[in-house]
Chains A and B, each alone.
Chain A
């Protein structure tokens, strides 16, 4: 009933080989007062059938409905090949590729992932991935602080509020001030950004497209950063946009980071996600996390290996670039398989996502929703309607999830909804939504 591979007779012979009489004896080094007297208070063991029924029931207790939710996790079609490949035991049940001779599969895939991220961001070097977008942003900021004397970071208030919260946690632990730049009209206000930066500032951080879906003027923000001689970090939560929009490298961005869940990974109640981080070449030795490099083996054949490991905790310990010890290897594998399948159609898919969101916005405006910001958007946008909470609640009862209520995250934004359509939503579905909404409003 457990997953052990030892029979009763094996056990007796093995104990004899060890030179002890009973299983108790191999725990004799644990002092008696520490030993548990009674079994753990856990529900009893179950058969596979019972476990599947129990947990299947829990899955069914979640309600998956017609959804227009975005906000840092995006519903996209995952090709069957991605599931198939990532379930291969040789990928799924391998460890971090410390023995390169028997890990070329994982290493090659990560090298390809790094390459894809570099090409999408237009930057020189990308790591093997990080936990999620929020911690990737925190790590990017820490890169600009490490080894220096800087005391604050200037961050756009239009960055995803959870990302801001995680950054606040990390910066508090380091005694660094987070200067939030209040957005205006849904985008980062350039004069405020200039004002937020002083000689103690380690970096300027902005998300584009930002949390509200608005496309930031990264060119202008990069100019400000350059004038003030601070690095600029661009955060991206929907990297599908990189198939359509200008790349961070086009603006001279120093570090791009964020969430790559969109590439072949499920929303999965928010985890596992797939943090990515890419930077200009000069930051290579300050990067956190794993890096895979190309080299040769003793017979001169091309091979891949974890490299620049002296940055990492297992060698440099308290002086490491980060405490990160893993990446999200399997999620990165899914992403690279997805990007291989999607290939240069990424532009077409990004354009479709945007057109669907624009259609959704247009149709909602026709029935009384108001746009909140004038700035151009990509893929998601904010709309206002009186009594939004009640409408959202009634829609939910009908099986529809219309976007994210923003007043819970941004107290001033009463009646505002962040809505997002992807290729998972069809024009017909948008029509049906409008039909249901007409009955409610």
Chain B
């Protein structure tokens, strides 16, 4: 597809600027004025056709199953889109003042309370705009806590199975990262952990269920080891979709966490954002949460910045509010029973697919999975790799699973079906995976040269990185 710039023809126009007959009382002085703009001239029809045609080149949840592990690509209800576009929300200016924003503030206040109930945390902030932003804000909270308590702790522990955002967030707060090994069973190696935890450890970050899709059976012991040394236990809540109504981070012994509204709470991923990464904390950490916080005084909601111990602001305004509207709608629609059914079905679907696939693909850890599971390309014949499988499944009309993550499984193929896929779709996906397994034996080139039916063939990422072209030039 060519870029929109190819369609530019001087003289075309899609944007009639209002022609008000008003004088310019304060013309901008000449020396500040720039040259003519360097954008494009196209018709509205050109624009609509161009982007509509581009959209046809995307896979999406609306068009196919998208079993991308660790991303929770569930169906995004359309009602939530309608609600987020209501003028009372979309046109609300962030500096309108509390008196004009009572509906929005109430929604934020209630959503934070519900998230606290779902996770067993004491209080939530909706300010972080993404999961990684939530992690960063949380690590700042940990840093602030120890600073206030006159302790200089230098290290944050992270398991070898963690998302890359965990160590990156930690590094952005000046902590040193130490990697905790996993057992062959996929749990945190408790013996190794006990040796690593000392008075220099500020916290440990753990995804629960972990990135192999397994529930760490020693979770409470890990919490005890950390708490025994005065360290905090952080939950990367990326995988909350497995646990709603079943157990809570509070019960597991976590002190703080983030939630990805764009995963568990069905807000659309938008091709890579906007998401939202609210953070929850136990009571003793609440005073460090970002400002402003939404509080209820009598029957009036108010944005409050009066928290001297707060880490401060982390966002231009209050976080991704319109994403929160969608998540709130989802929560109210489902209630407690619906959330529990969501997690139960997410786990049911994953275990069902696992049962269908584990004979055909190598399974590093064979036990009950939660909402996702990790296979690997070990033992695939004729040099067929995880990447080849990922490309070939596109030809069958499914998005690829996550491949090569988590790093501790070589050639990982990580499948997360989510609860919104029907049994018919799960069966069709399993059949496609089994067909690819058979192709790997009989016609490996078919797999290795895939995709054959996608909008483009395999893309040359090497040339893109060697000689970067990052903008369109005439």
A and B touch in the complex (CB under 8 A): yes
Q: Is B351 an interface residue (CB 8 A)?
A: yes
Bound together, the chains give a CA A28 to CA B269 distance in angstroms of 32
**Cross-chain contact of A326 among B107, B130, B368 (Cβ < 8 A):** B130
Taking CB atoms, residues of chain A closer than 8 Å to B182 are: none
Shortest CB-to-CB span from B370 to chain A, Å, is: 8
Taking CB atoms, residues of chain A closer than 8 Å to B169 are: 323
B:361-413 near A, CB below 8 Å: 367-368, 390-391, 394, 399-400, 405
Q: Which one of A82-90, A194-202, A223-231, A433-441 is at the interface?
A: A82-90
Q: B251 touching A317 by the CB < 8 A rule?
A: no
Closest to B420 in A: A3
Q: B91 touching A103 by the CB < 8 A rule?
A: no
Bound together, the chains give a CA A258 to CA B34 distance in angstroms of 19
Closest to B473 in A: A115
Q: Is A204 an interface residue (CB 8 A)?
A: no
B:323-339 near A, CB below 8 Å: 323, 325, 328-329, 331-339
Bound together, the chains give a CA A305 to CA B41 distance in angstroms of 26
**Cross-chain contact of B91 among A96, A97, A267 (Cβ < 8 A):** A267
Q: Is A413 an interface residue (CB 8 A)?
A: no
Given contacts A42-B335, A90-B62, A106-B271, A423 and B315 within 8 Å (CB-CB):
no
Shortest CB-to-CB span from B224 to chain A, Å, is: 13
Q: Is A362 an interface residue (CB 8 A)?
A: yes
Q: Is A277 an interface residue (CB 8 A)?
A: no
Q: B66 touching A317 by the CB < 8 A rule?
A: no
Given contacts A35-B246, A55-B325, A174 and B163 within 8 Å (CB-CB):
no
Q: Is A126 an interface residue (CB 8 A)?
A: yes
Closest to A347 in B: B37
Q: Is B295 an interface residue (CB 8 A)?
A: no
**Cross-chain contact of B59 among A18, A87, A94, A347 (Cβ < 8 A):** A94
**Cross-chain contact of A303 among B23, B44, B316, B456 (Cβ < 8 A):** B456
Q: B102 touching A349 by the CB < 8 A rule?
A: no
Bound together, the chains give a CA A347 to CA B469 distance in angstroms of 28
**Cross-chain contact of B252 among A34, A267, A273, A314 (Cβ < 8 A):** A34
Q: Which one of B172-180, B192-200, B226-234, B433-441 is at the interface?
A: B172-180
Shortest CB-to-CB span from B299 to chain A, Å, is: 12
Closest to A376 in B: B29
Q: Is A191 an interface residue (CB 8 A)?
A: no
Q: A301 touching B17 by the CB < 8 A rule?
A: no
Most buried by A among B55, B140, B214: B55
Bound together, the chains give a CA A126 to CA B373 distance in angstroms of 37
Q: B313 touching A162 by the CB < 8 A rule?
A: yes
Q: A89 touching B332 by the CB < 8 A rule?
A: no
Closest to A128 in B: B272
Taking CB atoms, residues of chain A closer than 8 Å to B77 are: 3
Q: Is A282 an interface residue (CB 8 A)?
A: no
Closest to B8 in A: A343
Shortest CB-to-CB span from A264 to chain B, Å, is: 11
**Cross-chain contact of B457 among A31, A101, A111, A250 (Cβ < 8 A):** A101
Q: Is A432 an interface residue (CB 8 A)?
A: no
Given contacts A30-B215, A52-B79, A314 and B63 within 8 Å (CB-CB):
no
Shortest CB-to-CB span from A354 to chain B, Å, is: 6
Taking CB atoms, residues of chain A closer than 8 Å to B270 are: 91-94, 328-331, 333
Q: Is B419 an interface residue (CB 8 A)?
A: yes
Q: A297 touching B458 by the CB < 8 A rule?
A: yes
B:59-79 near A, CB below 8 Å: 59-63, 66, 68, 71, 73-77, 79
**Cross-chain contact of A308 among B36, B217, B468 (Cβ < 8 A):** B468
Taking CB atoms, residues of chain B closer than 8 Å to A346 are: 37, 39
Q: A354 touching B3 by the CB < 8 A rule?
A: no
Bound together, the chains give a CA A320 to CA B368 distance in angstroms of 34
Taking CB atoms, residues of chain A closer than 8 Å to B321 are: 268-272
B:452-473 near A, CB below 8 Å: 454-461, 463-465, 468-472
Taking CB atoms, residues of chain A closer than 8 Å to B274 are: 131, 271-272, 326, 328-331
Q: A42 touching B118 by the CB < 8 A rule?
A: yes
Closest to A132 in B: B316
Q: Is B340 an interface residue (CB 8 A)?
A: yes
Q: Is A367 an interface residue (CB 8 A)?
A: no
Q: B60 touching A33 by the CB < 8 A rule?
A: no
Q: B14 touching A272 by the CB < 8 A rule?
A: no
Shortest CB-to-CB span from B32 to chain A, Å, is: 5
**Cross-chain contact of A94 among B18, B90, B269, B465 (Cβ < 8 A):** B269
Q: B36 touching A36 by the CB < 8 A rule?
A: no
Given contacts A172-B312, A173-B143, A340-B47, A63 and B39 within 8 Å (CB-CB):
no
Given contacts A55-B332, A349-B17, A319 and B93 within 8 Å (CB-CB):
no
Q: B54 touching A293 by the CB < 8 A rule?
A: no
Given contacts A271-B323, A303-B456, A330-B273, A337 and B172 within 8 Å (CB-CB):
no
Shortest CB-to-CB span from B20 to chain A, Å, is: 5
Q: B34 touching A295 by the CB < 8 A rule?
A: no
Taking CB atoms, residues of chain B closer than 8 Å to A295 are: 459-461, 463-464, 469
Closest to A341 in B: B14
Bound together, the chains give a CA A15 to CA B352 distance in angstroms of 7
Given contacts A40-B245, A104-B54, A313 and B85 within 8 Å (CB-CB):
no
Most buried by B among A11, A27, A71, A133: A27
Bound together, the chains give a CA A243 to CA B34 distance in angstroms of 8
**Cross-chain contact of A90 among B60, B103, B220, B469 (Cβ < 8 A):** B60
**Cross-chain contact of A69 among B62, B93, B172 (Cβ < 8 A):** B93
Shortest CB-to-CB span from A297 to chain B, Å, is: 4
Closest to A72 in B: B316
Top 6 A-B pairs, shortest CB-CB distance: A270-B317, A89-B62, A59-B88, A270-B94, A61-B103, A330-B270
Pull 5 A–B residue pairs with CB atoms less than 8 Å apart, ordered by A.
A30-B247, A108-B57, A165-B312, A305-B464, A330-B273
